[in-house]
């Protein structure tokens, strides 16, 4: 074993030492440490109508700086009356600082490099922990989290039978070997839609750093994974595990089946079109026939597994990510790059042939990831194929798309993938004409500017309006922060970087609940995610979550009855509870941890 891998393995066994049961502190700060370069702020919920005196002290109790708070007042997002302490102009660094505000005292905190070098490593480890088809080994994760392979040698047939609405789905005649990939979230499903944005985010991190001369966040031997030491960047090794799975989900030549096409109500009777040529399309997911309970290790799952019907959205997710992989691996593994490009073009052609196979089935045992509009996936896939092939066909699709004409870029999500294409094109400005490059730049900067305006209106300085805190709000914030980071890259302006730092600080404790939403980081960090294996709270035979896992976060829009009862009356940013049963607020997923890796690596650049 190479020395670098030995060091990484030792690091992987060391969990950050934190007191996770600390009481709530009245001063809200980033619990994992403030960056020397960037905003240094604290929020203090206090009913006082006038400013309060504050003092920053060093580890010896000596005063560094003093001042008075700025009363920001009633805040709709948190339901609190807030005071702001801002000592961003201070250049001091070190450990053991404390902040005194009126009669309140903060926990000790550090000012310096911040936690991001360690956090990016732990956040990436999430994906190895959640690999399917391979044993998770003690030497990489420690004894607590080691487990046998889940769903090894997974050869899955197509689902045939009734969905929850009583629709009869005819099974296709083929089976596929779909071993590998990442488990999507707290369950054991593996999804092409959602796997796509997660994979893109990791690959985009690598590609952006390579093109901007920023080095690489995960050089070979720096991550605790089996492939470390093989001469390939470890981020790419982890991403390839998912890319191989995505490729395996492509229907073979000659495959035909009946599908419902066009806009239909998935909760009522569907109309099927018979004998559709689905060759080259991607199956939407492979998953259990029925929902399983908690706790349950992947290798203990005895449910039957099925391929669920192909969809245009899944097919375009494959086309996009395979095109992205083709250009990244071109010089690293030309044979793999060629295989990816062929699969991408084949998927693109299949999507053109069947452009309206929407994910309509309401099946038991897995998430739907339904999407009634796939124009954004067409734009994304065309953008990736344009960046890879430079063919005029894809230029025409991209520039004529309504998604290219938007005034401001919105944050990406699994159901809103057009921004992924725009961000890819921003890495290759030479592809577009000068006017189109200017339009793209303007879209990114207008989007980022809008996010900063929302942050300025927020008591906790977050780029999200109060009523927009929905399922996975922390992911929304991180994906918006990614656009802010692009704006910083494009302009060099510090205000955009400050916005990214503000999002990271919120995730790490500078929020109305005084909670770090990232396991293992901070005095009060999330401990009970909705996850079938990280379930020690339900059974001591199971492990707790490893460090570096991010919770979905507050959810005011789709809590569900059970969560609403357990949480009670809540302001948008406080609609959260650290409860393993509450998947609407405390689930963890690949598409939430992927932007955490991206942001931690970006902030670690300095």
> pLDDT, tens digit, for every residue of 256-273?
999 999 999 888 899 999
- Please list the alpha-helical segments (H only) found in 257-332: 312-328
The tokens of 14 are what?
């060391």
Instruction: Give the domain CATH number at 322.
Output: 1.50.10.10
pLDDT at 18: 39
Q: Please, what is the average pLDDT of the chain?
A: 95
Give the global pTM: 0.97
Q: What is the mean pLDDT of residues 220-236?
A: 98
Residue 98 CA to residue 44 CA, distance in Å, equals 14
Residue 111 lies in a domain: no
pLDDT tens digits, one per residue of 142-188:
999 999 999 999 999 999 999 999 999 999 999 999 999 999 999 99
pLDDT at 20: 52
Residue 287 lies in a domain: yes
pLDDT at 9: 41
Radius of gyration of the chain (CA): 24
Contact 315, 333 (CB under 8 A): no
Residues 6+ apart with CB under 8 A from 393: none
Query: What is the helix (H) or strand (E) element at residue 478, kind and residue range?
Result: helix 473-491
Does the structure show a pLDDT above 70 at 354? yes
Q: Report the catalytic residues.
A: 187, 530, 578, 587
Residue 262 lies in a domain: yes
Q: What is the mean pLDDT of residues 81-107?
A: 97
Residue 603 CA to residue 510 CA, distance in Å, equals 17
pLDDT at 202: 98
pLDDT at 5: 42
Residue 55 CA to residue 85 CA, distance in Å, equals 10
HSE, CB side, 13 Å, CA atoms: give it for residue 21: 0
Bridge partners (DSSP) listed for residue 74: 81
Range of 199's domain? 150-371
Residue 455 lies in a domain: no
pLDDT tens digits, one per residue of 514-524:
999 999 999 99
Could you give the number of structural domains in the chain?
1
pLDDT at 488: 98
Q: Where residue 405 falls among pLDDT bands split at 50, 70, 90?
A: very high
Residues 6+ apart with CB under 8 A from 586: 526, 528, 529, 530, 551, 552, 576, 577, 578, 579, 580
pLDDT at 426: 98
Q: What is the mean pLDDT of residues 548-577?
A: 96
SS3 363: coil
Does the structure show a pLDDT above 60 at 66? yes
Residue 16 lies in a domain: no
Residue whose C-alpha is closest to residue 605's, from 491, 499, 489: 489
**Residue by residue, what is the 3-state secondary structure of 555-597?**
CCCCCCHHHHHHHCCCCHHHCCCCCCCCHHHHECCHHHHHHHH
- Return the percentage of the chain with pLDDT > 90, whole number: 95
Does the structure show a pLDDT above 70 at 593? yes
Residue 162 lies in a domain: yes
The tokens of 468 are what?
């927009």
Residue whose C-alpha is closest to residue 326's, from 195, 207, 192: 207
Query: What is the helix (H) or strand (E) element at residue 287, kind and residue range?
Result: strand 282-288
Q: Where residue 352 falls among pLDDT bands split at 50, 70, 90?
A: very high
Residue 297 lies in a domain: yes
Write the DSSP string, 212-235.
TT---SS-TTSS-STTTTSSS-HH
**Which strands sit side by side in the sheet containing 80-86, from one edge to the other?**
41-45, 80-86, 70-75
Specify burial of residue 335 (Cβ count, 10 A radius: 0-12, 13-18, 19+): exposed
Contact 258, 275 (CB under 8 A): yes
101-105, 161-165, 406-410, 523-527: range with lowest mean pLDDT: 161-165
Residue 134 lies in a domain: no
């Amino acid at each position: 074993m190479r020395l670098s891998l030995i060091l990484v393995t030792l690091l992987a066994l060391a969990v950050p030492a934190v007191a996770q049961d600390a009481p709530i502190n009245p001063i809200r700060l980033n619990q994992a440490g403030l960056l020397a370069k960037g905003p240094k702020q604290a929020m203090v919920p206090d009913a006082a109508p006038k400013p309060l005196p504050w003092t920053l002290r060093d580890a010896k109790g000596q005063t560094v700086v003093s001042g008075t708070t700025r009363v920001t007042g009633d805040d709709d997002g948190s339901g609190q009356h807030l005071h702001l302490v801002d000592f961003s102009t201070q250049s001091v660094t070190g450990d053991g600082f404390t902040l005194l505000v009126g009669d309140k005292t903060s926990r000790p905190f550090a000012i310096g490099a911040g936690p991001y070098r360690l956090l990016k490593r732990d956040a990436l480890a999430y994906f190895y922990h959640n690999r399917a088809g391979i044993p998770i080994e003690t030497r990489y994760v420690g004894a607590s989290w080691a487990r046998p392979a889940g769903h090894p040698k997974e050869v899955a047939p197509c689902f045939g039978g009734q969905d929850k609405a009583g629709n009869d789905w005819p099974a296709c005649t083929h089976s596929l070997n779909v071993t590998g990939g990442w488990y999507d979230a707290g369950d054991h499903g593996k999804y092409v839609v959602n796997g796509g944005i997660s994979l893109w985010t990791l690959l985009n991190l690598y590609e952006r750093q390579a093109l901007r001369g920023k080095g690489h966040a995960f050089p070979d031997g720096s991550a605790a994974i089996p492939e470390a030491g093989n001469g390939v960047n470890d981020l790419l090794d982890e991403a390839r595990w998912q890319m191989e799975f995505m490729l395996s989900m492509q229907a073979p030549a000659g495959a035909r089946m009946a599908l419902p096409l066009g806009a239909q109500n998935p909760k009522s009777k569907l109309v099927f079109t018979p004998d559709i040529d689905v060759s080259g399309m991607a199956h939407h997911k492979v998953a259990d026939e029925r929902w399983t309970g908690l706790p349950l290790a992947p290798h203990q799952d005895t449910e039957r597994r099925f391929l669920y019907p192909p969809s245009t959205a899944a097919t375009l997710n494959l086309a996009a990510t395979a095109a992205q992989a083709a250009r990244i691996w071109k010089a690293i593994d030309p044979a793999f790059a060629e295989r990816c490009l062929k699969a991408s073009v084949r998927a693109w052609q299949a999507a053109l042939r069947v452009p309206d196979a929407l994910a309509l089935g309401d099946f038991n045992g897995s998430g739907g990831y339904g999407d009634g509009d796939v124009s954004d996936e067409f734009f994304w896939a065309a953008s990736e194929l344009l960046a890879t092939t430079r063919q005029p066909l894809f230029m025409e699709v991209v520039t004529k798309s309504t998604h290219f004409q938007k005034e401001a870029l919105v944050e990406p999500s699994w159901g809103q993938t057009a921004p992924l294409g725009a961000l890819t094109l921003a890495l290759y400005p030479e592809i577009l004409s000068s006017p189109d490059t200017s339009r793209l730049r303007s879209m990114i900067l207008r989007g980022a500017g809008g996010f900063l305006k929302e942050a300025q209106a927020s008591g906790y300085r977050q780029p999200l309006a109060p009523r927009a805190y929905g399922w996975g709000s922390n992911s929304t914030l991180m994906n918006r922060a990614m656009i802010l980071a692009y704006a910083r890259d494009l302009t060099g302006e510090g205000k955009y970087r400050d916005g990214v730092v503000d999002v990271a600080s919120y995730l790490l404790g500078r929020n109305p609940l005084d909670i770090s939403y990232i396991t293992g980081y901070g005095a009060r960090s999330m401990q009970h995610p909705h996850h079938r294996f990280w379930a020690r709270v339900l059974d001591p035979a199971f492990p707790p979550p490893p460090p570096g896992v991010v919770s979905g976060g507050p959810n005011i829009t789709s809590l569900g009855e059970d969560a609403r009862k357990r949480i009670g009356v809540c302001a948008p940013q406080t609609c959260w509870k650290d409860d393993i049963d509450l998947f609407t607020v405390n689930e963890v997923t690949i598409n939430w941890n992927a932007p955490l890796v991206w942001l931690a690596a970006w902030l670690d650049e300095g």
